[in-house]
Amino acid sequence: MNALAAPLCHPSRCRESATTKGHLTMSSLTARSSLWTSARSKRAAPAFALPASAATIQLAAKLVRLHNQVSALAYEEMHPAYELDVSNSLSLDDCQALNALAAIATDLTTELYEAAGTEAFFYEYQPISDIRTRQVKGYEALLRWTHRGHTVLPASFIPIADETGSLILIQQCLLDSVAALQQTLPKDTSIAINWSPSQLSHPRAVSAFIDRVHDLQLDSTRLVVEITEHTLTINPDAAYSNIRRLKEQGFQIALDDFGRGYCGLSYLRHLPVDCIKLDRSLIQDMGTSPRASLIATAIIDFAHMLGTTVVAEGVETECQLSSLRHAGCDFAQGYLIGRPSRLVSSTS
């Protein structure tokens, strides 16, 4: 039996260590929770047939979150300076759910690794246009997975792919398709690739990416690495160091989902960012809400003062596009500009 197939915590142990409130203390979970960590990079034969794709992947993603919760609580117990609130520990039901999800995650992890490098994973490209001329100046590569006959969107599988490390392998393999596309595009057209927390905080992942780009003779100056504000909060020191490495190699850096609710403007002062992408939550009310327009305009003006270009995400109406043009925004992305597609015309 592989490590993940074994229960993360046995029900009898749970009952023995449960508090009078009916919650688990972390001492009964710490050792077992390490099983997930030790098995993250292991491949094993599927133990049983997976249920419907979407449900399976959502459950496995929940396992990742549960594991992270276990790890965080275990850290608090090992450090007496932190007070462990027993009411926040996992309940018996949570523990049983964790065991069931572990088996699902084992099989899913195997499928993710086996699908890497095959046609099961592919990019769809969404155009980014000049907001004044509407001429396409770039594309964002959006990862998709065909799993058991269904196309799975990234929000459903990326959490566990990132946790297990398979996401790094998947994107390395897909750089071939990016290289083929780049050769067909005009010289002033870029391709943006999203990076996850594990990629940005892992020095070997960054080195492997740079080496792969060089091997494929990709023009790094026409590649954009998109990171989120949240990604920067996971491991700030490693993130800042790796961003500078990427910049030294000529890559452009875009700060994605800007304005969603993290530190925001402070990143623009310290990071060598070429572009910020305004989150769709800031765009959806533009044209109908003067307050929303004022906020977006202020961010755009601030970015321009720092020499940073601005892309508006989630543009779906002509009213939004007109308001963004009036606010001085540089580029637009959204269904109004074009939907993601596997086929890209070099004359778009």
Residue with the larger pLDDT of the pair 18 and 115? 115
Averaged pLDDT, 133-147: 93
Least confident interval from 74-83, 209-218, 232-241 = 74-83
Residue with the larger pLDDT of the pair 132 and 58? 132
Averaged pLDDT, 90-113: 68
* Close Cβ partners of 64 (under 8 Å, ≥ 6 residues apart): 105, 159, 160, 163
Average pLDDT, the chain: 75
pLDDT band at 341 (very low <50, low <70, confident <90, very high): very high
Express as a percent the part of the chain with pLDDT over 70.
67
Residue with the larger pLDDT of the pair 111 and 194? 194
DSSP conformational letter for 24: B
* Close Cβ partners of 57 (under 8 Å, ≥ 6 residues apart): 108, 147, 152, 156, 157, 160
| Number of CB atoms found within 10 A of residue 324's CB | 26
Q: Is the pLDDT of residue 15 over 80?
A: no
Averaged pLDDT, 168-185: 92
Residue with the larger pLDDT of the pair 42 and 172? 172
In the chain, where the domains are located: 3-115, 121-333
pLDDT of 203: 77
Averaged pLDDT, 48-73: 50
Angle between helices 53-78 and 30-39 (to 10 degrees): 130
Residue by residue, what is the 3-state secondary structure of 94-150? HHHHHHHHHHHHHHHHHHHHHHCCCCCEEEEEEEEEECCCCCEEEEEEEEEEEECCE
Least confident interval from 120-129, 166-175, 313-322, 329-338 = 166-175
pLDDT band at 81 (very low <50, low <70, confident <90, very high): very low
pLDDT of 92: 54
pLDDT of 25: 32
Q: What is the CATH number of domain 121-333?
A: 3.20.20.450
pLDDT of 188: 93
Averaged pLDDT, 88-93: 53
Residue with the larger pLDDT of the pair 258 and 90? 258
pLDDT of 286: 84
pLDDT of 230: 79
Q: How many CA atoms lie within 13 A of 119 on its CB side?
A: 2
**In the structure encoding, which two tokens stand for residue 39, read together?**
């098995």
DSSP secondary structure, 253-299, as one string: EEEEEETSSSSTHHHHHHS--SEEEE-HHHHTTTTT-HHHHHHHHHH
* Close Cβ partners of 340 (under 8 Å, ≥ 6 residues apart): 124, 125, 126, 142
pLDDT of 20: 34
Averaged pLDDT, 93-105: 64
Residue with the larger pLDDT of the pair 126 and 64? 126
Least confident interval from 157-171, 179-193, 323-337 = 157-171
pLDDT band at 313 (very low <50, low <70, confident <90, very high): very high
Q: Is the pLDDT of residue 99 over 60?
A: yes
Q: Is the pLDDT of residue 224 over 50?
A: yes
Q: Is the pLDDT of residue 26 over 90?
A: no
